[in-house]
Structure 1
Amino acid sequence: MEEAALFQSFFLIFSGAAIVASLALFGRQPLLVAYIALGIALGPSGFAVIDNVELLAEISSIGIIFLLFLLGLDMQPQALLSVMRKATFVGLISSAIFLGLGYGIGRLFGFTSIECWVIGMALMFSSTIIGIKLLPTTVLHHKHLGELMVGLLLFQDFVAITCLMILLGGGAETLSPMQIGLSFAALPLLVLIAWVVVKFLLLPLFTRFDRFHEYVFLLAVGWCMGLAETAEILGLSREIGAFIAGITLATSRISQYIALSLKPLRDFFLILFFFSLGAQFKLSVLPEIALAAVVTAVAVLIIKPVVFRYLLGRQSERKVLAWDIGFRLGQISEFSLLIAFLAASQELIGSAASHLIQATAILTFLVSSYIVVLNFPNPIAIKDHLRRD
């Protein structure tokens, strides 16, 4: 019976996701919003068709591990040096401003100090989906705008990883400096283990058997899961272990093949992740956080473009370019949802704070995507003069 119920849940999730994703694409909406909406509709707060939400959430957490593994695979040393040169100043100052903005809004609506800091963390990041997917391919790869966008988003990825380490090193009631310190102390040991294994075991195996694609796929998944579990044993987290597993393979010639082969598997679990987020969204909490979510979303949509415009202007960027980047980055991120999920699972924030972040993410995704689609060059523009592939 349990197997039948699980299969029925998968049938409803993926068949439903195929339908809502099609509608979202026709309506020019971000797909993850469609998955979250489907979760709300089918979960306990909606039609209650699927009730084993905790099991699905546990399964979907594997998607986060693969997401961070692939993120590590894309962290090329050359790209890191480029980020340090182009995006560090803007990234640091903007992150500090948005962290303070989130903290202030949290205080305004009576959240605890830790919840305010987590809300601030969630506001620091911008969506890769809207920032990159709505950028014309020629601009992304060949123009200064594309370089700046990628640099800023990559810098935010590093900040996000740091935030995840802080959250995953915290306790149930408070963020313990000792636990955080132990987590950071264990990090060099994990990096050393990963480097030794990659250099003396994995790379020789990949070199010798790279023509066997099934084996390469299996070895990559095993390495990701193995280092993730090692990180858990060392007191870090599986997510951090997966990220280090990816970054230690990033310079190998086979890294891009691994990234391409694992993306469908990652997407499978991420659909479950966003669905489970929606399914766990309690509509009964909405009246409690509705005003706070609207205020936070409006603040993000207005202040983020202005901050990026000002900071990029100080970097001698043209006004038009600075506004373009500001509006493209004028929302919060998929990482914000991950931060809300992890902070809630660590019992660092309550249900209201978690739902505030989720609601803000959905609102800013929707409004920001419309702003970009209607006003800036993008692949799915309604106006012909703005449509760029």
Structure 2
Amino acid sequence: MDLFIELGILIAASALISIVMRILRQPLIIGYIITGFIVGPYVFNIAQSEEVIRIFAELGIAFLLFIVGLNLSPKVFKEVGVPSLVTGLGQIVFTSVIGYIIVQLFGFDVLTSWYIAIALTFSSTIIILKLLSDKGDMETLYGKISIGFLLLQDVVATIILIVAASSRLGESGGGAVLQNVLLLLGKGAVLTVVLILISTKVLSRLTGFLGRSQELLFMFSIGWGLGVAALFYSLGLSIEVGALIGGVALALSPFHHEMSAKMRPLRDFFIVVFFIFLGSQLSVADLQSVLVPALILSAFVLVGNPLIVMALMGAMGYRKRTGFFAGLTVAQISEFSLILILLGIKNGQIAQSALSLVTVVGVVTIAASTYMILYADKLYAWLGRVFSIFERTHPKERTGDAAKRAYETILFGCNRTGHDIVEVLSREGRDLLVVDYNPEIISYLRGKGITCVYGDAEDAEFVEELRPWEAKMVISTIAEPEGALLLLEKIRSRSSDTIVILTSQDIPEAERLYKEGVSYVIMPHFLGATYAAELLRKNKFASESFAFEKTKHLSYLETKKQRGHTHPHIEKFEM
């Protein structure tokens, strides 16, 4: 069959199956793998140009890892707080050890067992960010903690991929294993340092020139990513590690966001082929032999991983709801898991059957966990009482003495908009209670003598303890639809007099809130436009007035910067 026709059929088939996946509210990754199985040699045998598809798949991995590297700047470590660090590392250790024991019971050799066990530890950052974004949970307490430990997983996965890639030269046995691994790691470390120096000392001077042309920036990104990958490969390292390091070297560039955005369409196309290739490697015989182990390992990932996270977060003092919701985000395996297994096969260290096993685990866990996350509220309502064993008697998220009396005003969320509201209400001497899930904000408010509690506004039990319906006014600056409706429902079911001010980023959602009985909806972007229009009306063409506004605004921005506030960055996640 002609290669062009073959690729056309592959893409058309994946598009049709992707439509079905979208209707079923499933990540498209599953559709791509199913497409690969259908067009592969064991069903319709349409994908006959295996070598070409394999090269396309390797390009997909290279582009994916290059973009991951672009986003692994030092800022990542700043974003990963202590709860995320403890939970992330703890989950990786417990999952890999328990997973290894389970895999060993099925008769796999030691090295294969470790490969599979480690593959079970990683969760898909892309899929989880997409689901959190769709649910509007990016700014919740569990969302922040989950994003933190998913970023940590990406860093750990990067290190493991580098070690796995370097281990392929350690097949000669004895002391040569360690010697070859250290030699390869040394080469990689030296080359990485050289590339970072080139990026910071040489390329930094060219970024202005490159940034003036979007096409040039795009071509430079491709050339740099593939060029570094080829350089690593020529020195005995892997293409995957080369692409990853190529991205890391550019992570400090002021244009790394633009490079990442430009590369995403290319990554998306080739990564589709990668998952199709994975699906085409599945055979009916392999599926029959790995089905039982795959289902048991899937159950471990779907149930065991969330329980591990809940236990760790409960030990740190978080409420059972926060632990449960965060735990669901690790109830599937990642694209890194599949790449790791492919790397092991390429190194000749594990058998092809391991890929079939982990791919089936991937399909099952991604499909099931997607529904678990989408219907997490109903699951929690059903199972919430069972999870009390994971919650301390006096959890970190507790109302304490704050719940012993009613307040004139309760504010949920003290970042950005909320900070300004606190400043105004404090100056007026209002009887104010602030609720926030950021420990730094809580410490800051307590230092200012402002009454505050640490907790999540979406936790129904926590909100119930605060009795917001007894307040004269309740304000929430958290633009999460479900949380806003929960708060409004709690208040309006007991009080029609309380003034309720909520926040929304969406017009239909704001209209819905008004219908449900909210007093006023804050829409930050529209308020900003209204303020700017009023500024233009008032100042007209008076340059001295704008100079005054400029000075005032710069002072305001400096205060915001000192408080660690940033303008929200909205990004769509698709996979």
Q: Judge same fold: TM > 0.5, yes or no.
A: yes
Distance 2:260 2:304 in 1: 35
Which protein has the bigger strand share?
2
1:91-134: CA deviation from partner (whole Å, max 9, x where unpaired): 22211111112211221010111100001111111122442211
Moved beyond 6 Å, runs of 4+: none
The CA distance in 2 between the partners of 1:66 and 1:203, in whole Å, is 22
Identity %: 30
User: Is the Cα–Cα contact under 8 Å of residues 66 and 242 in structure 1 kept in the other structure?
Assistant: yes
Aligned to 1:166: 163
CA shift at 1:81, angstroms? 2.3
**What is the identity, as a one-letter code, of the residue corresponding to 1:106?**
V
Tell me whether 1:70 sits opposite 2:82 in the alignment.
Answer: no
Q: Unaligned regions of 5+ residues in structure 1, if any? A: none
CA radius of gyration, larger in: 2
What does residue range 5-44 of structure 1 map to in structure 2 within 5 Å? 5-44=2-41
Secondary structure, counterpart of 1:352 in structure 2 = helix
Bigger RCO of structures 1 and 2 (CA < 8 A, at least 6 apart): 1
Instruction: Give the secondary structure class of the aligned counterpart of 1:240.
Output: helix
Residue pairs, 1:346-357, within 5 angstroms: 346-357=347-358
- Please give the per-residue CA displacement for 1:177-214, whole angstroms capped at 9, x wherever unaligned: 33322222123211222122212332222212422111
Task: Return the offset for 1:332.
Answer: 1.4
**1:141 Cα deviation after fit:** 4.3
Local SS of the residue matching 1:169: helix
What TM-score do you get using the length of structure 1 for normalisation? 0.91
Q: Is the 8 A contact 2:218 2:259 kept in 1?
A: yes
Give the structure 1 partner of residue 373 of structure 2.
372
- Given the alignment, which residue of 73, 86, 90 partners 1:89? 86
Correspondence 1:183 to 2:180:
no
- The answer on 1:48 being equivalent to 2:39 is no
Matched ranges for 1:210-289 at <5 A: 210-289=211-290
User: 1: CA distance between counterparts of 2:107 and 2:299?
Assistant: 19
Q: Which residue of 1 aligns with 2:337?
A: 336
| 1:296 and 2:293 are equivalent in the alignment | no
Counterpart in 2 of 1:109?
106
Give the superposition deviation at 1:305: 0.8
Indicate if the aligned counterparts of 1:172 and 1:347 stay in contact, CA closer than 8 A. Answer: no
Q: Secondary structure at the match of 2:114?
A: helix
Tell me: CA distance 1:162–1:263, structure 2 relative to 1, closer, same or farther (3 Å). Answer: same
Check whether the contact 1:173–1:348 (CA below 8 A) recurs between aligned residues: no
- Which of residues 56, 59, 64 is equivalent to 2:56? 59
CA distance in 2, matches of 1:142, 1:162: 28
| Aligned residue type for 2:112 | E
2:309 maps to 308
Q: Counterpart of 2:207?
A: 206
| Higher fraction of helix | 1
> Is contact 2:170-2:181 (8 Å) kept?
no
The one-letter amino acid of 1:279's match is: S
Give distance in 2, aligned partners of 1:143 and 1:371.
18
- Give the alignment partner of residue 119 of structure 1, picking from 116, 127, 139: 116
Out of 272-281 and 132-141, give the one that drifted further. 132-141
- Contact residue 135 and residue 374 of structure 2 kept, 8 A: no
Contact 2:125 2:151 (8 Å CA) reproduced: no
Moved more, 168-177 or 218-227: 168-177
Q: Secondary structure of the residue that 2:122 maps to in structure 1?
A: coil
TM-score computed with the length of structure 2 as normaliser = 0.63
Ranges in structure 2 where 5+ consecutive residues have no aligned partner: 379-480, 487-504, 507-575
